[in-house]
Structure 1
């Protein structure tokens, strides 16, 4: 089906599929991006327009999810949950995740299947400022798209065999990717917070 859409609509089809996948339709986004990388490697698609279509589709999709959450609120999102494959338990879990990691969850959530559109919804009904949302959401889209397009180019015609072999471990792989990419950012974030707390404590002692 995905191959047929790509053959029929090309880059517009790629944009549409990623847009719908990010919003919440159960589409294999990582598989799609990896396959597009294979098509690029074989010369059936050009790199720049494929990258732009994928990045814009992901960015528009994540923005729509954010706007749905921001404009409609949590109660409306809960009612729409069955259309977005979103249970109340899952929503609460992502809310806790967002409370703990905040904006970094937007960036690294792309690499965890099923988390992308939920983090954007949560950021929306949590009234996260768009100026904070945008760089992390779109930066995450950029890195996510590049990662799987390059992976597709690297594995070439072996991609189906590799996909079948790795599919059962996709959540573990996603978690490892997030940890690998996120550790330096989190280390800097918590280092700055600890330093700020120490400076605040020193200022309080001086005032005493």
Structure 2
């Protein structure tokens, strides 16, 4: 079941980018940064794959990815700012964000301050919901989005470049991919299942448990 869902997501992402190009990259990355669980790794590497085929422009795809992140982050920031902790505490699990994840992000933000705005955008999973936490904490709107945009640009360039290399060497890589693709997919699915189970397990923790964990 989960494998089919992941397959549908990947098909949707690749088909949309194939049809609409950089515009699709921007919209999909905006959704990812607005807490919709669409993997940016798939979006950007596939964009890079199409760059290698001469169908898209490298710099435009990278910029579209970073700009999409900015748009999604703004939406996410204001959701956190306006709805606050009670919303994220209650409904975060449906965004695949556990209460422990929220506490860890808040502790990181408290400890490292504005550095969090930049570094968090380079971390898988965390990058998806960090703007919610910054909004809840009433962090700087301008600084968080400026630093986040710069970090997202780096993230986008790296993943698009990976996609370009995969596309340029596909004939060499393809035999290995055909041989190990099921193993790779199994690892990805296993990681996602573990994360989902962890999120819903942590959502059952009591307030006392969370206070102790935060301490």
TM-score (norm 1): 0.71
Asked if structure 2 preserves the Cα contact closer than 8 Å seen for 1:62 and 1:116, the reply is no
Pair 1:23-2:34 in alignment: yes
CA–CA distance in 1 between the matches of 2:56 and 2:110?
40
Find out whether 1:101 has 2:117 as its counterpart. no
Q: 2:47·2:56 contact (CA, 8 Å) conserved in 1?
A: yes
For residue 73 of structure 1, the aligned residue among 75, 84, 99 is 84
What residue number does 1:129 align with? 140
Residue range with higher mean Cα deviation, 114-123 or 150-159: 150-159
Moved beyond 3 Å, runs of 4+: 158-161, 163-169
Corresponding position of 1:119: 130
Cα displacement (A) at 1:42: 1.5
1:152 and 2:167 correspond = no
The reply on whether 1:39 has 2:50 as its aligned counterpart is yes
2:24 corresponds in structure 1 to 13
Q: Distance in 2 between matches of 1:45 and 1:138?
A: 22
Larger Rg: 1
Superposed, 1:169-184 pairs within 5 Å as none
Q: Residues 106 and 129 from structure 1, CA distance in 2 versus in 1: closer, same or farther, beyond 3 angstroms?
A: closer
| Alignment length (residue pairs) | 170
**Residue pair 1:65, 1:117 contacting (<8 A) in 2 also:** no
Offset at residue 128 of structure 1 (A):
0.8
Q: Provide the rounded CA distance (Å) in 2 between the counterparts of 1:112 and 1:45.
A: 26
CA contact (8 A) 2:118 2:148 kept: yes
Could you list the per-position Cα deviations for residues 58-88 of structure 1 after superposition, in whole angstroms to 9, with x for gaps in the alignment? 1111121111111221112223313311221
Alignment partner, residue 91 of structure 1: 102
**Cα drift, residue 144 of structure 1:** 0.8
Superposition CA RMSD, Å: 2.6
Structure 1 spans left out of the alignment, 5+ residues? 172-208
Note if contact 2:33-2:72 (Cα within 8 Å) is conserved in structure 1.
yes
1:50 and 2:61 are equivalent in the alignment: yes
Task: Work out the CA distance in 1 between the residues paired with 2:140 and 2:75.
Answer: 15
TM-score normalised by L of structure 2: 0.69
Distance 1:97 1:88 in 2: 14
